[in-house]
């Protein structure tokens, strides 16, 4: 697809762990969420959890934008998860 980049979710072995990661044109996106920190924030209440999730979404979109070299919307990301192209 012209102008599009391959967008895949793959499993990658790192040491003794197997990680689920996003690959764009076969390059792993350097992104992760601190699950323990998210659990602690969630315990403070739904407003804190909601704010944290919005911050995570914003940062994730910024990381994808940096990797593909252009602005990407949340809707484009949703489509990429379905189609495999961004």
Q: How far apart are CA 1 and CA 11, in angstroms?
A: 24
Q: What is the pLDDT of residues 49-58, one digit of tens each?
A: 999 999 999 9
Q: What is the pLDDT of residues 15-58, one digit of tens each?
A: 998 989 999 999 999 998 999 999 999 999 999 999 999 999 99
pLDDT at residue 2 greater than cutoff 90: no
Q: How far apart are CA 7 and CA 54, in angstroms?
A: 22
Q: Give residue 15's Cα distance to chain centre.
A: 22
Considering only CA atoms, which of 53, 68, 51, 71 is closest in space to residue 6?
Answer: 68
Domain limits, the chain = 7-83
């Amino acid at each position: 697809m012209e102008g599009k980049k391959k967008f895949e979710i793959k499993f990658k072995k790192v040491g003794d762990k197997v990680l689920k990661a996003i690959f764009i044109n076969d390059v792993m996106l350097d992104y992760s969420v601190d699950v323990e920190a998210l659990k602690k924030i969630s315990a403070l209440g739904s407003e804190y959890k909601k704010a944290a999730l919005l911050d995570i979404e914003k940062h994730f979109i910024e990381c994808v934008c940096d990797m593909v070299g252009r602005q990407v919307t949340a809707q484009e990301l949703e489509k990429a998860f379905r189609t495999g192209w961004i």
